[in-house]
A and B are shown apart, each in its own frame.
Chain A
Amino acid sequence: MGIGRRVAEARAEQGVTQEQLAVAVGLERSALAKIETEKRRLSALELVAIARELKRRVEWFVDDAPPALVSYRRAHPDVATQAIDLRLDELVRETEFVVSCIPGLISGQPEPLPHPTTAAEAEEMADTARRLLGLGPADPAHNIAGLAAALGLLIFSLDLGEGADAGTVLLERGGVTLVNGSRMVGRRRLAAAHELGHYLIADEYALDWRIASSEADGLEARLDRFARALLLPESDLRTRWARWTNAPDESWRDAAVRAASHYRVDMATLARRLKELRLVEHSRAEDIRQVQTRRADIVEKDLVVSDELAPASLPRAYEQAVLALYRREAVTEGRALGLLLGTFDSASLPELPPVPGSEIWTVTS
């Protein structure tokens, strides 16, 4: 697709008319129409103005889109673009750029796992994933973004308000997941685990709404099962649940609070997992679903409070790669701040060392 067509596409996505865009960038409407139908070339100067107006980077109009984005768009031509699509597109391109400069950012990517066709296979897949993530049988999957990065999946969290829970795009090597940070921490972690499932079975592009909803079926339901099994491994949960529920002077509610905190999941996920493992009956699962952890619980049970994947949250390895690019002056300060998605300001960047005296030769010759 040529640049003009992309201008038309970006304009449509922003819901802007030709007239409005033309006025905003100081062009005649007819000139813009010719640009969009590629009967007239546009200059870098015009492109910069259009890109700014349509909230896209210049590269978006010029460079080919990553293959996974292209095939997704081709397969879903009538689907309206969501905020999460736009941010994912941006994140994928930014990540590919950083990876092109620092290939080590994407470390090991495992061979694709087979699609789980039953709940039992989803459980097995979770066991495999936990092994790949280096988790022992009794280890909770804390810092899931850090764990996933070791498998080549970079998980970002941004405040997306209403909309999808998460999306994942497979890169040539590795993958990018965007989690909707507007959700609560347990839901964010569940979404991240679900997306890790998509990544491990090498789904090119996945956009997930209502993760762990009762309406999900087929593969989505099995990846929900995978996500719960990853976060709440069966044998460890059985052992701990028995211990917590048998603790003297503590109720089932205390056990639920301890479990949710230990595994960092929300009560709905915990309830569902306990029920599917037949550790509680339906009515008790419903009770657990309603439990809210109180401040008193946190103090009395000495729980660790975590706000994992709080938006905006970037994978640590990605942040380190951007800072390395800034330090070696491969990107400007403004570009580094942009790649860090506004999570840094100038004062947070490292101070650059003085330039070696020998460089004077290159600047004076």
Chain B
Amino acid sequence: MTDEPPAYVLDTGPLSHFAKAQWLGVLKTVLKEHRVCIPDIVREEVRQGIPHHPHLRSVLDETPWIEVVPLDTEAQLSAFSHYAKRLVGPDGRNAGECGVLALAETTPGAIAVIDDRVATEAIRGRPVVVRRTLGLLCEAIRAGLLTVPLVSALADDLLESRYRIPFGTGGFAAWAEAQGLL
């Protein structure tokens, strides 16, 4: 056992959401006690996404605190292959998520931050811990780093694109309030 705080391994999706809202600094503050890394394959996805999503440039330019880790050991490639079998189709999408899960799985005490439901299904029976972006955002509210209206706006975006949870746009704040979540 180690007393070191867990490392967080970030996926392209969460990074993109934070970059779009210009909250990379907030993310840094939220995770300041932790080692934060991305696999090289996620950095490549971010790089390739810049022409269509210019806000991603800040992920490359403004995050010296994020460590880029190549996946090249046998264990990492084996884990990568396991996830690719479930997530990657002929178009090659989701390779980044496979990299995140493989890195988190092979880094002691690491936590993957990943939003895709299939990705979280794919970890069944695997020694890897996953958290979702929404969880990090709620934590940031509790830490006084973000306000509910700001998170609500981002939550809407997340809920629409990722979670398919049946409450409408703008519903997060009221829901979270009612649940005593915040």
Q: Show the binding face of A for B, using Cβ within 8 Å.
A: 3, 41-45, 47-48, 52, 57-59, 61-63, 97, 328-338, 342, 352, 354-355, 357, 359-360, 362-365
Does B166 belong to the interface (CB within 8 Å)?
A: yes
Q: What residue of chain B has the Cβ atom nearest to residue A101's Cβ?
A: B86
A332→B94 contact, CB < 8 A: yes
Q: With A58-B81, A328-B121, A331-B87 known to touch, is A44 a contact of B39 (CB < 8 Å)?
A: yes
Q: With A354-B166, A362-B132 known to touch, is A58 a contact of B86 (CB < 8 Å)?
A: no
B94→A334 contact, CB < 8 A: yes
For B93, list chain A residues within 8 Å (CB). Answer: 332, 334
For A52, list chain B residues within 8 Å (CB). Answer: 92
For A45, list chain B residues within 8 Å (CB). Answer: 40-41, 44, 70-71, 99
Tell me the bound Cα distance from A97 to B86 in angstroms.
Answer: 9
A43→B86 contact, CB < 8 A: no
For B167, list chain A residues within 8 Å (CB). Answer: 357
Some 8 contacts from A to B, beta carbons below 8 A apart, are: A3-B77, A47-B77, A59-B81, A63-B81, A330-B121, A334-B88, A357-B166, A365-B135
Tell me the bound Cα distance from A338 to B95 in angstroms.
Answer: 14
Report the 7 A-B pairs with minimum CB-CB distance, sorted nearest first. A334-B89, A62-B81, A44-B71, A338-B89, A363-B132, A43-B72, A41-B72
A interface, over-half SS: helix
Does B175 belong to the interface (CB within 8 Å)?
A: yes
Chain A proximity of B166: nearest CB distance (Å): 5
Chain A proximity of B111: nearest CB distance (Å): 12
For A364, list chain B residues within 8 Å (CB). Answer: 132, 134-135, 138, 176, 181
Q: What residue of chain A has the Cβ atom nearest to residue B166's Cβ?
A: A354
B86→A335 contact, CB < 8 A: yes
Tell me the bound Cα distance from A126 to B157 in angstroms.
Answer: 61
- Which among B39, B76, B86, B115 is the interface contact of A330 at CB below 8 angstroms? B86
Give the residue among A43, A52, A59, A363 with the most B Cβ atoms within 10 A. Answer: A363
Question: For residues 163 through 182 of chain B, which have their beta carbon under 8 Å from a beta carbon of chain A?
Answer: 163-167, 175-176, 181
Chain A proximity of B41: nearest CB distance (Å): 5
For A342, list chain B residues within 8 Å (CB). Answer: 90
Tell me the bound Cα distance from A41 to B76 in angstroms.
Answer: 12
A43→B135 contact, CB < 8 A: no
Q: Show the binding face of B for A, using Cβ within 8 Å.
A: 39-41, 44, 70-73, 76-78, 80-81, 84-95, 98-99, 102, 115-118, 121-122, 132, 134-135, 138, 163-167, 175-176, 181
For A41, list chain B residues within 8 Å (CB). Answer: 72-73
10 additional contacts, CB 8 Å, given A52-B92, A330-B118, A337-B89?
Answer: A41-B72, A43-B72, A44-B95, A44-B98, A58-B88, A62-B81, A334-B88, A352-B164, A357-B166, A363-B134
Tell me the bound Cα distance from A35 to B34 in angstroms.
Answer: 34
A58→B84 contact, CB < 8 A: yes
Chain A proximity of B148: nearest CB distance (Å): 13
A44→B89 contact, CB < 8 A: no
Tell me the bound Cα distance from A61 to B122 in angstroms.
Answer: 20
Chain A proximity of B42: nearest CB distance (Å): 10
B89→A355 contact, CB < 8 A: no
Tell me the bound Cα distance from A336 to B93 in angstroms.
Answer: 12
Q: What residue of chain A has the Cβ atom nearest to residue B43's Cβ?
A: A45
Chain B proximity of A36: nearest CB distance (Å): 15
Tell me the bound Cα distance from A61 to B85 in angstroms.
Answer: 12
A334→B91 contact, CB < 8 A: yes
For A328, list chain B residues within 8 Å (CB). Answer: 121
For B92, list chain A residues within 8 Å (CB). Answer: 48, 52
For B115, list chain A residues within 8 Å (CB). Answer: 363
Chain B proximity of A46: nearest CB distance (Å): 8
For B175, list chain A residues within 8 Å (CB). Answer: 360
Chain B proximity of A59: nearest CB distance (Å): 5
B165→A329 contact, CB < 8 A: no
Chain A proximity of B75: nearest CB distance (Å): 11
Tell me the bound Cα distance from A125 to B172 in angstroms.
Answer: 66
Tell me the bound Cα distance from A42 to B76 in angstroms.
Answer: 11
Q: What residue of chain B has the Cβ atom nearest to residue A337's Cβ?
A: B89
B81→A354 contact, CB < 8 A: no
For B87, list chain A residues within 8 Å (CB). Answer: 331-332, 334-335
Tell me the bound Cα distance from A365 to B133 in angstroms.
Answer: 10
B81→A355 contact, CB < 8 A: no
For A62, list chain B residues within 8 Å (CB). Answer: 77-78, 80-81
A43→B166 contact, CB < 8 A: no
